[in-house]
Structures are given as structure tokens and as C-alpha cells.
Amino acid sequence: MNDYELDVDFMDMTKDRRLWTRLEDARPGFVPIAGHHVIIGCEDASPAVARILSVNAEGHIELEVLPGSVDSHRDLLAPT
């Protein structure tokens, strides 16, 4: 099992550090909530922390990827 809540494709990240993913790309049981911070990742890159900007009715999730390592943002992550 991976160590992140949402699987993303970092190649799709925009210059303003935004990404879209889908609810079906989430870890089982994960509930995305706008304003919360989550760990995101993929098989080919190190995980990162992102803020959930929005979740729409179709299950599309808009993210803002924070610069820096996961450890540098541990204070933003809710305890599991």
C-alpha cells in the first residue's frame, strides 16, 4: 500500500501548482474535504502535500500542491 491519500499525475501540474484528480484515485475510505491538507503521490515521484481546493459532484478534486517535502508540512496534516 502507498503512503498517500490521493494518486495524482505530477506531469499535469500547472505553473501555479494546481492539479486535478478523481475520487476513484483516492485511498479506500478517504473523504476529501475542501480546505484540508493531504499527502498526494504517484509511483514515479516522491509524495507531496496538497491543499484540497474543491470537490465537485462528479468526484473531481482540485488540489494546490505545496512546495517542499511532506515532513516540512507535517503540522498541516491531520493525525491519522
The predicted-structure confidence for 51-68, as pLDDT tens digits, reads as follows: 999 999 999 999 999 999
What's the whole-model pTM score?
0.91
Taking the domains of the chain in order of start, what are their residue ranges? Answer: 6-76
Question: What is the C-alpha to C-alpha distance for residues 52 and 11, in angstroms, rounded to an integer?
Answer: 18
**Could you report the per-residue pLDDT of 3-35, keeping only the tens digit for each?**
899 999 999 999 999 999 999 999 999 999 999
**CATH architecture assigned to 6-76:** Beta Barrel (2.40)
Residue 45 pairs in a beta bridge with 42
- Give the pLDDT score at 79: 66
Phi/psi at 69 (nearest 5 deg)? -80, 165
Tabulate helix, strand, coil % of the chain (nearest 5): 15, 40, 45
End-to-end CA distance of the chain: 15
Backbone angles phi, psi at 23, to 5 degrees: -60, -35
